[in-house]
Structure 1
Amino acid sequence: MRRNPFDELEEMIDRIGRQVEEGMIGGNTGFPVPGSVAVDVADTGGEFVVTADLPGYDTDDIDLTLTDGTLRLEATQEEEAEYEEGTYIRRERKGKSASRRIRLPEPVEEEEVSASYTNGVLTVRLPKVSEDDDSKRIDIE
């Protein structure tokens, strides 16, 4: 029996949609989204480590927030108004901005989050919420 060509088209559209969505939330196979930041998210067991490439930015240009299990990274570099020593013959380096939202798979200790920025690489450490040892096992009768 012959397959319906519309079924193949629908499968392809679904696959592309999943790949784009995975790219937006930090999957491995997603397409790069314009203006987004390339990130790696590692699970070390006790914490998540997010590493992002942000060359050319200063720490004052980067804004990090953590809300409801989503890490939001925004970086904005303002365009310089004029060249201090003369006029431009060619101008290709303009202000730029980039952003990324990363949904974390588990809750983290928000008060323990730390970030560092060295040589254009941002590293954010997000310790996982530890399970309480005070929990009580409930037997089912």
Structure 2
Amino acid sequence: MRRNPFDDIEELLDRVSRQVEEGMGAGGLQVPGSVPVDVVDAGEEYLVTADLPGYETDDIELTLSEGTLRLEASREDESEYAEGRYLRRERTRTSANRRIRLPDPVEEESVSAGFEDGVLTVRLPKVSGTDDSKQIDIE
């Protein structure tokens, strides 16, 4: 009995799909130039933590638009070395970025961020359903 060649293709696609899902779940798939992040649903807020070693606060731009948090970091090292000459130079300009889609709306006015020891922490309070709710009287 001949084996259907499409069975082999389907099996391969299933295997690749499982590997991608496992890699994403473990944080194993890292796109070059992207910032490694942790996103935690802490009940009343989302907590985003990003590693940005070597950057300063002024190097980081953080924006929130339409439920997506955008993080961009860029730095340029000094163009000259005061006490000698370069034998090799690879650290001239470094940039990194990341976009994080939030599953639920957040209170944009209440978002806060801190940066300490190369770690950026962003707190994004969720929109509470009680603010927009209205008591309905039954007649």
Q: TM-score range by the shorter chain?
A: 0.7 to 0.9
Aligned residues: 134
Q: What 5-or-longer segments of structure 1 have no aligned partner?
A: none
Q: Secondary structure at the match of 1:7?
A: helix
Instruction: Kindly indicate whether the alpha-carbon contact (under 8 Å) linking 2:112 and 2:124 is maintained by their aligned counterparts in 1.
Output: yes
What is the match of residue 93 of structure 2? Answer: 95
Moved more, 8-17 or 120-129: 8-17
Which of 5, 14, 17 lines up with 2:8 in the alignment?
Answer: 5
Partner of 2:118 in structure 1? 120
1:87, distance to aligned residue in structure 2 (A): 1.1
TM-score normalised to structure 1 length: 0.81
SS for the counterpart of 1:11 is helix
CA contact (8 A) 2:79 2:92 kept: no
- Partner deviation per Cα, 1:17-68 (whole Å, 9 max, x = no partner): 6578xx5xxx545511111111111111111110000000011100000010
* RMSD between superposed Cα atoms in Å: 2.7
Unaligned runs of 5+ in 2: none
Matches within 5 A, 1:58-77: 58-77=56-75
Which residue in the other structure is 2:129 paired with?
131
Match in the other structure for 1:85: 83
Between structure 1 and structure 2, the one with the greater Rg is: 2
Aligned AA for 1:135? K
User: Is this contact kept in 2: 1:19–1:31, CA < 8 A?
Assistant: no
Give the partner amino acid of 1:32: Q
Is the partner of 2:47 in helix, strand or coil?
strand
- TM (normalized to structure 2)? 0.82
- Give the direction of change, closer, same or farther, for the CA distance of 1:29–1:62 in structure 2 (3 Å limit): closer
Contact 1:76–1:97 at 8 Å: present in 2 too? yes
Amino acid at match of 2:11: E
Asked whether the equivalents of residues 47 and 124 of structure 2 are also in contact (C-alpha less than 8 Å), the reply is yes
Identical pairs, percent: 59
